[in-house]
Amino acid sequence: MSKLKEKLYTKIQAWRPRTAKLIKEHGDVKLGEVNIGQAIGGARDVKCLVTDISYLDPMEGIRFRGMTIPEVLEKLPKAPGGDMPYVEGHVYLLLTGDIPTEKEVAEVADEFRKRAKVPQYVFDVLRAMPRDTHPMTMLSAAVVAMQRESVFVQKYNAGINKNDYWDPTYEDAMNLLAQLPEIAAYIFRMKYRGDTTIPSDPTLDMGGNFAHMMGIAKPYDDVSRLYFILHSDHESGNVSAHAGHLISSALSDIYYSISGMINGLAGPLHGLANQEVLSWIQGVMAKMGGKVPTDEEMRQFVWDTLKSGQVIPGYGHAVLRKTDPRYMAQREFCLKHLPEDPLFKYVDILFRVVPPVLLEQGKAKNPWPNVDAQSGVIQWYYGVKEYDFYTVLFAVGRAFGVAANIIWDRALGYPIERPKSVTTAMLEEAAKAASAAKS
Ligand SMILES: CC(C)(COP(=O)(O)OP(=O)(O)OC[C@H]1O[C@@H](n2cnc3c(N)ncnc32)[C@H](O)[C@@H]1OP(=O)(O)O)[C@@H](O)C(=O)NCCC(=O)NCCS
């Protein structure tokens, strides 16, 4: 058993009695009520999911295993010559809740290295698809094609104790995570770089190797590390995380679950939003004739956008009520590496101008920027100008968090998910009864 798996097992054993006690002794304690608005409105704010991997505080932003983004970026061991932590160390943190030592990070990197060989048929599947297929479709198809590799399915079919489900799930998760960056880079080079794919370099860490396979020089290795870490998890109620958890709750294996997670992320209201931000900013640039506008000119442009009935992309959030710390982490990167980039200058002006305008308009509950207001600018700067690919990068990152959640779901024996539906007539009946009770 690997050191990480051993540590995880110790943590799981210590955690299980907590969950068991809550169900057995406090299962009927209420966490809240559900109203008609929530039943129709996408279960917003309904507290009915449990995860210890991350928690989204409306005022603070995401905490991974209790740690804020600045804390995670500061405390995790860093790749030599870079400013950003190893993705491998972040995986260790997500799985165990502990900050790893350098040695522990090296062991995780070694474990990934041993699992990194992508089966040839995955590339064959990708090559058989029309080249203009969306890269998210390709990623999803590649992942589901690998389902035949599932260790969980083999063990399940052979007969396995429920308590041990997490073990082959861990095997599947680590195998898939080890291979996902190469599959993503392969899609990129095959589709957008004249089919000049670059073989993996096993001497490099995950972020370094991804930059190498993308064919992009430093500090893109740090961009990759930052990007994968920032996008890894955002609680479990967002569409991609929830889709992964839901599918896995049927004991479908990691490959089915992560492929479903990718499909959810592909929607324009979720992961795809980051490409919309960039095209909007470029529209602003074109209208301004490329020159850097004054704050007043930009203010006018933002008002014009609002008055034409459109939202300001990259601003607002369903849960957050302050600037997204994922935005701030990327902003700091931009200030260090690309402060003079024209696109970043626009983003910087928007950061000053948009929140007061949205506050003045008085509609958005959160006038501050979210993660998507920065991500595309960095990718564009380093030459990844194919918008369609941005969500693939998001998906690789998100897979780390969703896989950690699924392993823990299995470890704690979370059952198949099955919320109850009602009919519109039942809602009308409930509304009538509530009105009658009031009068
Ligand atoms: C993220 C988002 C979908 C959250 O939606 P939400 O939870 O419904 O947001 P709110 O409760 O604050 O919305 C209240 C009102 O403010 C408006 N609003 C919210 N964000 C806005 C923005 N960035 N620009 C203009 N208006 C906005 C909403 O459209 C809504 O208007 P309505 O009452 O006329 O329907 C929303 O803020 C948005 O559309 N942002 C821009 C797109 C974006 O950045 N998406 C990526 C999200 S990570």
Whether 345 shows a pLDDT value over 80: the answer reads: yes
**Residue 271 has what pLDDT?**
80
Whether 124 shows a pLDDT value over 80: the answer reads: yes
Closest approach atom of ligand 1 to CA 317? 1
pLDDT for 46-92, tens place per residue?
Answer: 999 999 999 999 999 999 999 999 999 999 999 888 999 999 999 99
- Give nearest CA residue, ligand 1 atom 17: 364
Q: For 383, what's the count of Cα atoms within 13 Å in the CB-facing half-sphere?
A: 12
Distance separating alpha carbons of residues 178 and 201, to the nearest angstrom: 13
Distance separating alpha carbons of residues 315 and 355, to the nearest angstrom: 8
**Residue 279 has what pLDDT?**
85
Whether 164 shows a pLDDT value over 90: the answer reads: yes
Q: Are the beta carbons of 177 and 400 closer than 8 angstroms?
A: yes
Pocket test for ligand 1, best of 363, 368, 390 (most atoms within 8 A of CB): 363
Residue count of the chain? 439
Pocket test for ligand 1, best of 270, 312, 315, 351 (most atoms within 8 A of CB): 315
Cβ contacts of 74 within 8 Å, gap of 6 or more? none
- Give nearest CA residue, ligand 1 atom 16: 364
Closest approach atom of ligand 1 to CA 364? 16
Catalytic: 270?
Answer: yes
Unique residue bearing structure tokens 């990623």: 139
Q: What is the mean pLDDT of residues 401-412?
A: 98
Pocket test for ligand 1, best of 350, 354, 365 (most atoms within 8 A of CB): 365
Residue type, 392: V
Ligand 1-lining residues (CB < 6 angstroms): 273, 306, 311-318, 363-366, 370, 372
Distance 317 CA to ligand 1 centre (A): 7
Q: Which long-range contacts (CB under 8 A, 24 or more apart) does 32-41 make?
A: 36/427, 36/430, 36/431, 39/422, 39/427, 40/427
- Give nearest CA residue, ligand 1 atom 19: 364
**Residue 318 has what pLDDT?**
85
Distance 378 CA to ligand 1 centre (A): 24
Catalytic: 337?
Answer: no
- Going by C-alpha positions, the residue among 79, 105, 78 that lies closest to residue 92 is 105
pLDDT for 246-286, tens place per residue?
Answer: 999 999 999 999 999 999 999 988 888 788 888 888 888 88
Percent of the chain whose predicted confidence (pLDDT) is above 70: 100
Q: Are the beta carbons of 29 and 377 closer than 8 angstroms?
A: no
Closest approach atom of ligand 1 to CA 274? 46
Distance 251 CA to ligand 1 centre (A): 35
Name the band, by pLDDT with cuts 50, 70 and 90, for residue 173.
very high
Q: What is the mean pLDDT of residues 27-35?
A: 97
Question: What percent helix, strand, coil does the chain show, rounded to 5?
Answer: 65, 5, 35
Q: What is the mean pLDDT of residues 188-209?
A: 98
Q: What is the mean pLDDT of residues 157-173?
A: 98
Catalytic: 372?
Answer: yes
Average pLDDT, the chain: 96
**Residue 323 has what pLDDT?**
96
pLDDT for 355-395, tens place per residue?
Answer: 999 999 999 999 999 998 988 999 999 999 998 999 999 99
Q: In this structure, what token pair is assigned to residue 17? A: 């009695």
Angle at which helices 342-361 and 273-287 cross, to 10°: 100
In this prediction the pTM is 0.95
**Residue 315 has what pLDDT?**
93
Burial class (CB in 10 A: 0-12, 13-18, 19+), 33: exposed
Does the CA dihedral 216-69-74-262 come out positive or negative? negative
Name the band, by pLDDT with cuts 50, 70 and 90, for residue 436.
very high
Catalytic residue (one of 253, 324, 372, 409): 372
Closest approach atom of ligand 1 to CA 324? 48
- Give nearest CA residue, ligand 1 atom 44: 314
Name the band, by pLDDT with cuts 50, 70 and 90, for residue 137.
very high
Mapped onto helix, strand or coil, the DSSP state of residue 431 is helix
Distance 316 CA to ligand 1 centre (A): 5
Catalytic residue (one of 45, 83, 134, 270): 270
DSSP secondary structure, 14-41, as one string: HHHHHHHHHHHHHTT-------HHHHHT
**Residue 15 has what pLDDT?**
98
Name the band, by pLDDT with cuts 50, 70 and 90, for residue 409.
very high
**Residue 270 has what pLDDT?**
82
Distance 433 CA to ligand 1 centre (A): 33
Pocket test for ligand 1, best of 317, 351, 358, 394 (most atoms within 8 A of CB): 317
